[in-house]
Structure 1
Amino acid sequence: MKVLSVLRVGLLALAALIGAVSMASAADGSISIRIVKAGFVVGGSAGDGVLTFQGRKYPLSVGGLSYGFTFGASETRLHGTVRNIRRPSDVSGVYAQGGAGAALGKGAQVVVLTNQNGAILELGGEQKGVIVSLDLSGLALSLK
């Protein structure tokens, strides 16, 4: 019984060490993206961007769909930080969100999103256009 307890504590310590080492190897980068969105009930978005990671620039493609109440069109430019990535391809994936918003002319945007690779986008920027939305949406980023 005592051997099992010591073994269990040893395994927990090893798991904690592995987790700490993997988190230590994660790095941050910066990102800029431009998204054009339009829709009537079902919306679509497309755009492009640039990831800057460890001194290199990587072009990005942006796409997405939304479903709910969406009416209008807008262009959004976002800039910010990508956290918890080990390599540029970690930023690729689907970022899901639900939200409500409206823009008439210009409006500010702030968003924090996470994908299946653990990449965290912290973005802020400006939205231009005429759009009203209450929807669920998915944003897909990929390296070009």
Structure 2
Amino acid sequence: MRARLRTALIALATLAASATIAHADSGTIRFKVLKGGWFIGASGGSGVLSFRGRQYPLSIGGVSAGLVFGASETRLSGRVSNINRPSDVAGVYGAGGAGAALGRGVSAIVLTNEKGAVLELSGRQTGLMVNADLSGLAISLR
């Protein structure tokens, strides 16, 4: 009897999870981030989420640790998927990376937060920046 109950509960949980994913939607996002650092870096910026015909202002902040030297401005835009409401974009996104920019460069990244929102971004980076670090990026609705 317990095995049947457990199987039924697992099936119900799977069905509920797939129904939530099936209703997930997508939108577009664009933002500008200024980053600077000397071993420990900080970043901040702002942007806009476009979702279901409305625009939502965003605040961006973050820290990085590792080899960080210089300053840069990055403008990213792209698609955000697997969200049900604008607040699903808010959260912490983590990344590890390495790179260098002198003048202008191109960047692309895919990030996921704790709510399952997926950002697929590309854009341009301007400035002098050398990094091999772990970064955290926090996005919040204003």
| TM surpasses 0.5 | yes
- Aligned partner of 1:47 in structure 2 is 45
* Percentage of pairs with the same residue: 56
From the CA coordinates, give the structure whose radius of gyration is larger: 1
Alignment RMSD: 1.1
2:87 is equivalent to residue 80 of structure 1: no
SS in 2 for 1:129: strand
CA deviation after TM superposition for structure 1 residue 64, in Å:
0.7
Mapped to 1, the partners of 2:109 and 2:58 lie a distance apart of 18
Larger displacement relative to structure 2 (16-25 or 69-78): 16-25
Mapped to 2, the partners of 1:117 and 1:5 lie a distance apart of 31
CA deviation after TM superposition for structure 1 residue 6, in Å:
3.3
SS in 1 for 2:115: coil
- Aligned partner of 1:126 in structure 2 is 124
Among 28, 36, 39, the alignment partner of 1:38 is 36
CA deviation after TM superposition for structure 1 residue 9, in Å:
3.0
Counterpart code for 2:108: V
Q: Deviations over 1:19-56 (max 9, x none)?
A: 11111121111000100111111111111000001110
Q: Give the TM-score normalised by structure 1.
A: 0.94
SS in 1 for 2:19: helix
2:51 is equivalent to residue 69 of structure 1: no
2:94 is equivalent to residue 92 of structure 1: no
Counterpart code for 1:44: A
SS in 2 for 1:94: strand
Counterpart code for 2:73: E
SS in 1 for 2:82: strand
Q: Deviations over 1:54-94 (max 9, x none)?
A: 11000001111111111111110101111111111111111
Q: Give the TM-score normalised by structure 2.
A: 0.95
Mapped to 2, the partners of 1:19 and 1:54 lie a distance apart of 22
Mapped to 1, the partners of 2:104 and 2:16 lie a distance apart of 46
Counterpart code for 2:31: I
Matches within 5 A, 1:3-22: 3-22=1-20
- Structure 2 gaps of 5+ residues are none
- Structure 1 gaps of 5+ residues are none
Mapped to 1, the partners of 2:40 and 2:2 lie a distance apart of 56
